[in-house]
């Protein structure tokens, strides 16, 4: 085990047992101080934000990879990600040491601590990466089976390609927003119930979320040179929570034969934190049996996956608190991130630092682990009931959806924080 993952490692900063941010995590983000001042790239420990720009400025990242670099003075993580996995590991090792209980450099320097540590509730967290391209896969078998059954044919829910390749589509990067951004219900073409072929213009009536995880590409590849599946780790910087908001009625009418288009381009929300692959290393578990055996370019050594708990909460305007409506896990994915990246690039397609690759909706076998309203309410036929007597088939105006994710051991928890967003009423477009 890498020393930065040692469960016995402790920081001089107190961290609650159930905090998402023990010293073994050290996620990456971008903070904006509430009282004004410049944004800065950061990490987190317990209830504190760690200013990476200040640590760099103080010359404390002085290893062979990072010495003299100014990557943390930037307004996104892209330049740092472009340095590659050896630089990421060096930053993690140095940060882990600086924050550890038996290292005096930061612990005993009051003025440096003032510059570097800020209570988390004194900053706003922004999107820490510049996302050039966004791909969304479709990699959970229960989800693909459920959607295939509802949209097409329950007898042939999975298309013949599904177990041979990680099905995906190219999404829209410009509308990716950070947690806390509220969104207007989208409008567009939908089919009214009385027609099979003549659409109307309407606000979306079947507004949905999708529980997903995304990985962020770090170092890219040259056009023409695929990333081999067992080298994918070196190109994946870390993981985020993703809510791929979806307009199911727009989708149902527009999607054939090229796949989702406007149904999913109006917003995709992500957590402000990127958790590194290095921090998730202890949570790699054996993946599902893949039968038929994938083609060689998709054969991932040890066929691993991640064990990460994922929960979804919904709070309507008249509800006193958020209610858990889904408990799923990243291990419900059939295809892992290495296979997804190998597949994305096998044609020679190049990826760039900051590209986002979402997993697809992560549903498990149990109804309580379905990762979308479409599945939870079974296309609106089986409403969810809430303690205040309200029901939901799809999202209503004012509904706030919050997703959270964490991997657990007995000793500590590696969390992603949360991704949250509220559905606002449709804008008046004067149409
Ligand atoms: O099966 C379909 O027609 C499309 C299903 C989806 O909603 C695509 C999608 O966003 C992938 C996913 O989240 O799993
Ligand atoms: Ca999706
Ligand atoms: Mg989207």
Which residue of the set 20, 85, 143, 235 is catalytic? Answer: 143
294 C-alpha to ligand 3 centroid (Å): 28
Taking only the tens of pLDDT, the chain with its 431 residues reads: 899 999 999 999 999 999 999 999 999 999 999 989 999 999 999 999 999 999 999 999 999 999 999 999 999 999 999 999 999 999 999 999 999 999 999 999 999 999 999 999 999 999 999 999 999 999 999 999 999 999 999 999 999 999 999 999 999 999 999 999 999 999 999 999 999 999 999 999 999 999 999 999 999 999 999 999 999 999 999 999 999 999 999 999 999 999 999 999 999 999 999 999 999 999 999 999 999 999 999 999 888 999 999 999 999 999 999 999 999 999 999 999 999 999 999 999 999 999 999 999 999 999 999 999 999 999 999 999 999 999 999 999 999 999 999 999 999 999 999 999 999 999 999 98
Is 147 near ligand 1, meaning CB less than 6 Å away? yes
Q: Name the residue with the closest Cα to ligand 1, atom 13.
A: 360
Cα–Cα distance between 387 and 123 in angstroms, integer? Answer: 34
What is the secondary structure of 49-62 as a DSSP string? EEEHHHHHHTT---
What structural domains does the chain harbor? 3-126 (2.30.30.230), 134-424 (3.90.850.10)
β-pair partners for 50: 43, 117
Cα–Cα distance between 32 and 44 in angstroms, integer? Answer: 14
ipTM field: 0.92
Q: CB neighbours (10 Å) of residue 347? A: 8
Does an H or E element contain 176, and which?
strand 176-178
Is 363 near ligand 1, meaning CB less than 6 Å away? no
């Amino acid at each position: 085990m890498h020393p930065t993952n040692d469960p016995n490692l402790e920081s001089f900063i107190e961290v609650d047992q159930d905090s998402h941010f023990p010293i073994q995590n050290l996620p990456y983000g971008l903070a904006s101080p509430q009282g004004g001042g410049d944004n800065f790239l950061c990490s987190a420990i317990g209830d504190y934000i760690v200013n990476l720009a200040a640590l760099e400025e103080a010359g404390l990242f002085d290893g062979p990879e990072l010495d003299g670099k100014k990557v943390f003075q930037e307004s996104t993580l892209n330049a740092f990600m472009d340095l590659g996995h050896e630089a990421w590991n060096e930053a993690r090792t140095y940060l882990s040491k600086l924050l550890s209980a038996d290292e005096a450099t930061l612990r005993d320097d009051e003025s440096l601590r003032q510059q570097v540590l800020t209570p988390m509730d004194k900053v706003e967290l922004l999107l820490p990466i510049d996302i050039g391209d966004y791909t969304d896969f479709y990699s959970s078998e229960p989800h693909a089976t459920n959607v295939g059954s509802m949209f097409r044919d329950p007898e042939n829910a999975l298309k013949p390609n599904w177990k041979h390749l990680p099905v995906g589509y190219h999404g829209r990067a410009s509308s990716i927003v950070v947690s806390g951004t509220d969104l207007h219900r989208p409008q567009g073409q939908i089919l009214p119930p009385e027609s099979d072929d003549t659409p109307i213009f309407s606000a979306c009536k079947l507004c949905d979320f999708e529980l997903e995880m995304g990985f962020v590409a770090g170092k890219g590849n040259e056009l023409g040179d695929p990333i081999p599946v067992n080298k994918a780790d070196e190109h994946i910087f870390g993981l985020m929570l993703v809510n791929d908001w979806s307009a199911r009625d727009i989708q149902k009418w527009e999607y054939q034969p090229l796949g989702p288009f406007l149904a999913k381009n109006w917003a995709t929300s992500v957590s402000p934190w990127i958790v590194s692959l290095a921090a998730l290393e202890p949570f790699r578990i054996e993946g599902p049996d893949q039968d038929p055996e994938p083609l060689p370019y998709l054969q991932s050594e040890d066929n691993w996956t991640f064990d990460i708990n994922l929960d979804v909460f919904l709070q309507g305007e008249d509800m006193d608190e958020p209610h858990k409506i889904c408990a799923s896990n990243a291990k419900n994915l059939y295809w892992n991130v290495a296979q997804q990246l190998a597949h994305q690039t096998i044609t020679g397609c190049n990826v760039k630092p900051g590209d986002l690759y979402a997993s697809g909706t992560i549903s498990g076998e149990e109804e309580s682990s379905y990762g979308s309203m479409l599945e939870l309410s079974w296309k609106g036929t089986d409403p969810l009931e809430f303690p205040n007597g309200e029901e939901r088939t799809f999202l209503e105006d004012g509904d706030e959806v919050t997703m959270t994710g964490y991997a657990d051991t007995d000793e500590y928890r590696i969390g992603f924080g949360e991704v949250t967003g509220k559905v606002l009423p449709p804008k008046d477009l004067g149409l």
